[in-house]
Amino acid sequence: MADKPQIIHTTGQIARQLNENLHRVEYAIKTRNIAPDGLAGNARLFGEEAIEQIKAALRDMNFRRDIRASIQATGRDVGQ
């Protein structure tokens, strides 16, 4: 029995699928060193495992942003 072919996505498709800005997806890929599963010309292609890594990175980025916003809203410094 043949393995099911892996569905691969470009960064633009991933951004649309996750309802995120493209630059945030690109930043997550760059800062987490997420390697593409393939290339089509200059387009990087990512499989489901990489997409899960991107989702986790975006969750982490959102969490950190929310913490910073919360700290700024209370007027407290992180060291206090």
Asked whether 15 and 21 are in contact (CB, 8 A), the reply is yes
Does residue 42 form part of some domain?
yes
Distance (Å, rounded) from C-alpha 5 to C-alpha 41? Answer: 20
Does residue 79 form part of some domain?
no
Does residue 19 form part of some domain?
yes
Given a cut of 60, whether residue 30 has pLDDT beyond it is: yes
Q: What is the pLDDT of residues 17-27, one digit of tens each?
A: 999 999 999 99
Does residue 80 form part of some domain?
no
Does residue 22 form part of some domain?
yes
Count how many residues are written for the chain.
Answer: 80
Given a cut of 90, whether residue 66 has pLDDT beyond it is: no
Number of domains in the chain: 1
Which of 13, 7, 19 lies closest to 58 in space, CA to CA? 19
Does residue 48 form part of some domain?
yes
Given a cut of 90, whether residue 2 has pLDDT beyond it is: no
Asked whether 48 and 11 are in contact (CB, 8 A), the reply is no
Average pLDDT of every residue of the chain: 89
The tokens of 37 are what? Answer: 């599963």
- The pLDDT value recorded for residue 79 is 55
3-state secondary structure of 67: helix
Does residue 55 form part of some domain?
yes
Does residue 67 form part of some domain?
yes
Structural domain boundaries, residue 64: 11-74
